Structure 1
């Protein structure tokens, strides 16, 4: 098992700045953010222009990572592959294919994304659409020796009422994804607030989890009593502010990391455990984000066998 982090938490930095920092702070791998560059990195990070990557560019990227002894564990392009606007859905699919091409060129084994959802349709209706539009993406990846890994983030902010916006949030839906050829980029933080035991949910599926994310969640049952499970409604100005839980870096929330890592080992996991830093306490500035990554490292490194 290797310890890494998702580069999206440092959107203002370049790979040339992130890779040496990761190496100096004892991280083994990076899950590289590959959203399209839009000129603004405030919300989505673009640390590698996969659409423009050619052989020369790939050699430069390899040299950078090899110089510092760091690996690329996966590419990260988490978007809505069931977007209700078919034109936008096609754009997302096209960029996902460019991710797959770049991964094949660089020898990166995994590309991470979401299933997504059309919020105007029921779950069953979305699954019917997914059964038609998603397998060609899996086939495209498989033909190039790449696996598509789906993070089980709920993406409640994508739904107007805070309901699941990514149909990958439960083991029941994981099994549907697996039937299409996807793999799981397991993240226990989302299971915590859904009331799903992250260890028991993990145990049967480790063989379908080649990559995992390390994010914690801090729950506030008293606030849940006020707002209910789905979170704030009248007081919800930010679609992501549910009011009764928040993400934290590993060690500052309620996830039992010793049990999670032990279960991964027991199931034969040999991939990367990648810190996804979305902690509001250790966020807002480059200095704070880096300190949060150091806190996560202090929590997780002692659990990972050298």
Structure 2
């Protein structure tokens, strides 16, 4: 297992600068963000230009990683694969296939995305839509030696009322999406506010073999504010779908999750993938300097829990 970081929070830095900085902060892997470069996604990170990605590009990126002692744990493009607009859904699927092609050319075996949701339809209809549209994407990946993964972020910000808009948010849905050919990028931060025990959920996912990648993000919960607003968050005073009022994401070390237990559970199950810090902390964010400091806090929290080299037989890790 290697400690890595998801590059999405560092959209203002090019990949070569991230690769130079990451090892100095204690990171050994990058989960590389690969959103499209166009006017609709200027706020997203595009650290790999997957459209028209060539063998020369792959050699250049792999050389960059090698020069800094890094590996790529996954290529990530988290978009709504069940978008209600067929033209937009087709555009998203084309870009996701390009991400899969790029991962294959780099020798990276994992691509992380979302299941998504058509917010104009009930969930039952969405399940049928997913069973129609998503298995071809999973097969496309598998044919190229890549495992397609869905992260368990509820994406409540996509729904006008703040309800889950990514049908990958619970263990029940993990079992369902496995039937579509998808694995799981497990992020424990999304589970406590949904009333899901992150360790029980992780053990279930590891037992089923669905976990392909892990992201490290923490959560801070205000129990008194939850009593005021309820589990769905603010209603009359909400300013945007993510303005819930009683919880917020934090970097590991600044929230409530027990990272010692989470990482020990991964080791106990024989998990051999990587764990990538995802930075969405409003306290350690807003500027590049504060974001980088938040990344350092996360590395200092998680580094002591992760083996840097395989232990010799008979020795403790």
Which TM bucket (shorter chain)?
over 0.9
Deviations 1:189-240 (A, max 9, x none): 0001111000011102222212100000000111112211111122222221
- Could you list the runs of 5+ residues in structure 1 that have no partner in the other structure? none
CA distance in 2, matches of 1:135, 1:210: 17
1:11 matched residue in structure 2: 11
CA distance in 2, matches of 1:56, 1:45: 22
Q: How does 1:185-204 map to 2 (within 5 A)?
A: 185-204=185-204
CA distance in 2, matches of 1:21, 1:258: 26
Contact 1:210–1:270 (CA<8 Å) still a contact in 2?
no
288 and 40 in structure 1: CA distance in 2 versus 1, 3 angstrom threshold: farther
Q: Which moved more, 1:35-44 or 1:198-207?
A: 35-44
1:261 matched residue in structure 2: 263
SS of aligned partner of 1:210: strand
CA distance in 2, matches of 1:39, 1:159: 22
Q: How does 1:1-306 map to 2 (within 5 A)?
A: 1-38=1-38, 43-206=43-206, 207-306=209-308
CA RMSD of aligned residues (A): 1.1
Q: How many residues align?
A: 306
SS of aligned partner of 1:278: coil
Stretches (4+) displaced over 3 A: 39-42
Offset, 1:43: 2.6
CA distance in 2, matches of 1:300, 1:123: 37
CA distance in 2, matches of 1:223, 1:44: 31
CA distance in 1, matches of 2:234, 2:81: 27
CA distance in 2, matches of 1:204, 1:243: 30
CA distance in 2, matches of 1:160, 1:41: 20
CA distance in 1, matches of 2:238, 2:67: 47
Structure 1-normalised TM-score? Answer: 0.98
Structure 2-normalised TM-score? Answer: 0.94
18 and 134 in structure 1: CA distance in 2 versus 1, 3 angstrom threshold: same
Offset, 1:42: 5.7
Offset, 1:97: 0.3
- Could you list the runs of 5+ residues in structure 2 that have no partner in the other structure? 309-317
